[in-house]
A and B are shown apart, each in its own frame.
Chain A
Amino acid sequence: MSNLTKVLSKMRWLQPVVGAVALILIWAFANFAELVDPVLLPSPLQSWNAFVEGMTEGTLGHDFYRTIFRTMLSFIIATIIAVPCGVALGSSDKLYRSVEFLIDFFRSTPASAMFPLFLVFFGIGEEAKIAVAAFGAALIILFNTAYGVMNARQLRQLAARVMGASKMRILWDVTIWESLPQTFIGLRSGVSMALVIVIVAEMFIGSSDGLGKRIIDAQMIFNMPEMYASIFAAGALGYVMNLLFTLIEGRFVHWGGK
Chain B
Amino acid sequence: MNLPHRVPPLDEGNPVTASATLSADTVTPTEPAGDLSDRLRWFAPGTHITIRGLTKTFADGTVLYKDFDLDLPRGKVVSIFGPNGCGKSTLINMISGIMDYDAGQILFDGKTARETKIGYVFQNYREAGFPWLRAIDNIRYPLKFLKLSKAEQDARIEKLLASFNVSIDLNRFPYELSGGQQQLVSIMRALVIEPEVLFLDEPFSALDYEMTLFLRDKLQSVLTDMEITTLLVSHDLDEAVELADEVLLLTRKPTSVAARIPFDAPRPRNAETTVTPEFIDVKTRSLEIFQREVRKP
Contacts and interface: CB of A to CB of B under 8 A. Distances in A.
Interface of A: 153, 155-156, 158-159, 161-165, 173-174, 177, 180, 254-255, 258
Given A153-B127, A155-B128, 13 more contacts: A155-B127, A162-B97, A162-B120, A163-B145, A163-B193, A164-B114, A164-B118, A164-B145, A165-B145, A177-B130, A177-B132, A254-B173, A255-B132
Contacts of A174: 130
Given A162-B96, A162-B120, A163-B145, A255 B127 contact: no
A173 B257 CA distance: 38
6 contacts: A158-B98, A158-B122, A162-B118, A163-B193, A177-B132, A255-B175
A122 B189 CA distance: 54
Nearest to A256: B131
Interface residues of B, number: 23
Nearest to B120: A162
Given A156-B127, A174-B130, A255-B173, A161 B142 contact: no
A255 B131 contact: yes
Contact of B98 (A153, A161, A173): A161
Nearest to B143: A163
Interface string B117-155: 110101010011111100000000110010000000000
Given A155-B128, A159-B120, A159-B128, A164 B173 contact: no
A173 B141 CA distance: 10
Contacts of A158: 98, 122
A136 B39 CA distance: 63
Nearest to A255: B131
The 7 residue pairs across chains A and B that have the minimum distance between CB atoms: A255-B131, A258-B175, A163-B142, A164-B145, A155-B127, A162-B120, A158-B98
A149 to B, nearest CB: 15
Contacts of B199: 162
Nearest to A157: B98
B114 to A, nearest CB: 7
A41 B17 CA distance: 87
A156 B124 contact: no
Contacts of B141: 163, 173
Instruction: Summarize A's interface: helix, strand, loop or mixed.
Output: helix
Interface of B: 96-98, 114, 117-118, 120, 122, 124, 127-132, 141-142, 145, 173-175, 193, 199
Contacts of B97: 161-162
A163 B141 CA distance: 9
Contacts of A165: 145
A95 to B, nearest CB: 22
B132 A162 contact: no
A174 B130 CA distance: 8
A163 B116 CA distance: 9
B116 to A, nearest CB: 9
A175 to B, nearest CB: 11
A258 B117 CA distance: 31
A156 B142 contact: no
Contacts of B145: 163-165
Nearest to B127: A155
Nearest to A163: B142
Between A164, A180, A254, A258, the greatest number of chain B beta carbons within 10 A of the residue's beta carbon is seen for A164
Contacts of B173: 254-255
A248 B124 CA distance: 29
Contacts of A156: 127-130
Contacts of A177: 130, 132
Contacts of A254: 132, 173
A258 B177 CA distance: 11
Given A163-B145, A165-B145, A258 B131 contact: yes
Contacts of B127: 153, 155-156
A172 to B, nearest CB: 12
B174 to A, nearest CB: 8
A82 B175 CA distance: 30
Contacts of A255: 131-132, 173-175
A161 B127 CA distance: 14
B173 to A, nearest CB: 6
Contacts of B131: 255, 258
- Which one of A155, A158, A162, A258 has the highest number of Cβ atoms from chain B below 10 Å of its Cβ? A162
B193 A155 contact: no
Contacts of A161: 97-98
Contacts of B98: 158, 161-162
A100 B132 CA distance: 30
A162 B173 CA distance: 22
Nearest to A166: B145
B35 to A, nearest CB: 36
Nearest to B93: A158
Nearest to B146: A164
B172 to A, nearest CB: 12
B153 to A, nearest CB: 14
A159 B122 contact: yes
A164 B175 contact: no
